[in-house]
């Protein structure tokens, strides 16, 4: 029974620690694909596992990828046993443990669907490393030529439109993290007019940030609102010294096609703006693919799934920036990932298997 295979594989993947080193769980994924599928399986230098199966209907120029990642964030103390392995607990239809929701449950569903499908286009399975570190594995794979026509990224999309409903995300926000650096000249605090206060210059820059409108965008009828916020400020060395430097951290949640004009802060004398991290947003550019995914999701559950947007960045952003039309569909619910009580519904993991299988066997025509 494929559902039992999904459950067993989920438990196998979750039980292998992969927060410091993804090698062992990557080995499990690679070995399973080689033993249980007829795919061509590869492992690149960063540790990504990528497998391919040809279309059952003959040669095609198109390919569909089921994409996940096998790294996780560090576990809480209660999620690790005395031997250093991840604890697993199954109760009331849910599997508890680090990585169950983000994202080894959906990853197992994708692997079994990849095995079972009679694909109508070339079918690819990819499990990346380093997603939690900003998409290290995805970027390496793309640089090495990974470029499917479509991708289903198996991050969580359950519970956005309604509790328990597995939706299809057609867009997500990105994140641009940046630093405002203000320089001045130091002086004695008793003679402030003899110095240039870097904190004052930084505050003027903060005023500009506060005046910026948050970016907005619409993707396939789904609205996204970004945000811009100052999250840290650091300056000064002593109570009686006018500071000659000050730094301000800015968190911006970007949307497809729009950015806040943070460079405006450089109109202030002595102020420089630098980008530290830029995780791209994602927008699906193929309505037919998005609609096909929504049909598959609707057929797999009693609820009424919707096309939605996710609030945070995933590897889909890197794939979309490289030209792949992506959607996100997975078992995780909001508030489950990265928590000390992380869990996933096994019923929803089964549902994801059904969705992945369905779209693999009836990808849209172009």
pLDDT of residue 188: 96
Contact call for residues 250 and 229 (beta carbons, < 8 A): yes
Distance CA 10, CA 32 (A): 12
* Mean pLDDT calculated for residue range 89-97: 95
Alpha-carbon distance of 155 to 128, in angstroms, equals 12
Q: In the prediction, which pLDDT does 366 show?
A: 67
Please name the residue that has the structure tokens 């590897």. Answer: 315
pLDDT at 169 over 80: yes
- Percentage with pLDDT > 90 across the chain: 95
Residues 6+ apart with CB under 8 A from 307: 167, 168, 169, 170, 220, 221, 222, 290, 294
Segments making up each domain of the chain, as ranges:
2-173+281-360, 174-279
Helix 287-299, helix 346-360: angle, nearest 10: 130
Residue 365: CB atoms within 10 Å: 9
What CA–CA distance (Å, rounded) separates 277 from 309?
Answer: 21
- CB hemisphere CA count around 16 (13 angstroms): 17
pLDDT of residue 85: 86
Residue 243 is encoded by which pair of tokens?
A: 């500071």
Residue 123 has pLDDT above 90, yes or no: yes
How many residues make up the chain in this entry? Answer: 366
Interatomic CA distance for residues 183 and 199, integer angstroms = 8
Verify cis geometry, omega within 30 degrees of 0, for the bond prior to 103. Answer: yes
Instruction: Give me the pLDDT at residue 179, please.
Output: 98
Average predicted confidence (pLDDT) for the chain: 96
- The sheet with strand 271-279 has its strands ordered as 227-235, 245-254, 174-183, 271-279
CA nearest to 112, candidates 31, 7, 12, 11: 7
- DSSP-based three-state secondary structure for 341: coil
Q: Among residues 118, 127, 152, 171, which one has the least CA distance to residue 289?
A: 152
List C-alpha distances in Å: 170 to 121, 138, 221, 252: 21, 19, 10, 20
- Is pLDDT above 80 for 96? yes
Pairing of strands 63-69, 122-128: parallel
Least confident stretch, 71-80, 82-91, 124-133: 82-91
- pLDDT exceeds cutoff 90 at 79: yes
Query: Which architecture, in CATH terms, is 174-279?
Result: 2-Layer Sandwich (3.30)
Burial of 276 (0-12, 13-18, 19+ CB in 10 A): exposed
Q: Which letter, b or e, does each residue of 297-335 get, where b requires 16 or more Cβ atoms within 10 Å of its Cβ?
A: bbebbebebbbbbbeebbbbbbbbebebbbbbbbbbbee
The residue-averaged pLDDT of 286-300 equals 97
Q: Is the pLDDT of residue 1 over 80?
A: no
Cα torsion 18, 20, 22, 27 to 10°: value is -80
Pairing state between β 325-328 and 150-153: parallel
* pLDDT over threshold 90, residue 93: yes
Report pLDDT digits (tens) over 40-68: 999 999 999 999 999 998 888 899 999 99
* Cβ–Cβ < 8 Å for 324, 150: yes
Cβ-contact 157, 167 below 8 angstroms: yes
pLDDT (average), residues 271-285: 97
pLDDT of residue 57: 85
Supply φ then ψ for residue 362, to 5 degrees. -155, 55
Return the SS3 of 157: coil
Encoded tokens for 210: 């506060």
Question: Which pLDDT belongs to residue 239?
Answer: 96
Mean pLDDT over 294-299 rounds to: 98
Output the pLDDT for position 131.
96
Question: CATH homologous superfamily for 2-173+281-360?
Answer: Zn peptidases (3.40.630.10)
Residue 227, pLDDT above cutoff 80: yes
């Amino acid at each position: 029974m494929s559902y039992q295979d999904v459950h067993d594989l989920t438990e196998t993947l979750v039980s292998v620690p992969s927060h410091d080193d993804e090698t062992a769980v990557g080995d499990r994924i690679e070995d399973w694909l080689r033993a249980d599928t007829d795919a061509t399986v590869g492992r690149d230098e960063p540790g990504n596992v990528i497998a391919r199966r040809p279309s059952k209907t003959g040669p095609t120029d198109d390919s569909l990828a089921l994409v996940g990642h096998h790294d996780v964030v560090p576990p809480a103390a209660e999620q690790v046993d005395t031997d250093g392995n991840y604890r697993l607990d199954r109760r009331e239809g849910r599997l508890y443990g680090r990585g169950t929701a983000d994202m080894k449950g959906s990853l197992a569903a994708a692997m079994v669907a990849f095995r079972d499908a009679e694909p109508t286009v070339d079918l690819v399975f990819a499990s990346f490393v380093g997603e939690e570190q900003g998409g290290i594995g995805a970027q390496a794979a793309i640089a090495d030529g990974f470029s499917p026509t479509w991708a289903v990224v198996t991050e969580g999309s359950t519970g956005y439109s309604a509790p328990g409903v597995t939706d299809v995300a057609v867009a997500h926000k990105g994140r641009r993290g940046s630093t405002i650096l203000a320089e001045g000249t130091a002086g004695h605090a008793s003679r402030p007019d003899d110095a240039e206060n870097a904190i004052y210059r930084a505050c003027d820059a903060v005023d500009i940030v506060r005046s910026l409108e948050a970016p907005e965008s619409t993707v396939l009828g789904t609205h996204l609102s970004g945000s811009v916020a100052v999250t840290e400020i650091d300056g000064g060395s002593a109570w009686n010294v006018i500071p000659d430097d000050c730094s301000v951290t800015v968190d911006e949640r970007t949307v497809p096609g729009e950015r806040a004009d943070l460079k405006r802060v450089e109109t202030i004398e002595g102020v420089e703006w630098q980008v530290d991290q830029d995780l791209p947003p994602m927008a699906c550019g193929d309505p037919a693919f998005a609609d096909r995914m929504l049909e598959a999701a609707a057929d797999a559950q009693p609820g009424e799934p919707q096309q939605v947007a996710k609030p945070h960045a995933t590897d889909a952003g890197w794939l979309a920036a490289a030209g792949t039309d992506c959607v996100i569909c997975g078992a995780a619910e909001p508030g489950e990932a990265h928590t000390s009580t992380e869990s996933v519904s096994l019923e929803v993991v089964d549902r994801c298997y059904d969705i992945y299988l369905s779209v693999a066997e009836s990808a849209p025509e172009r």
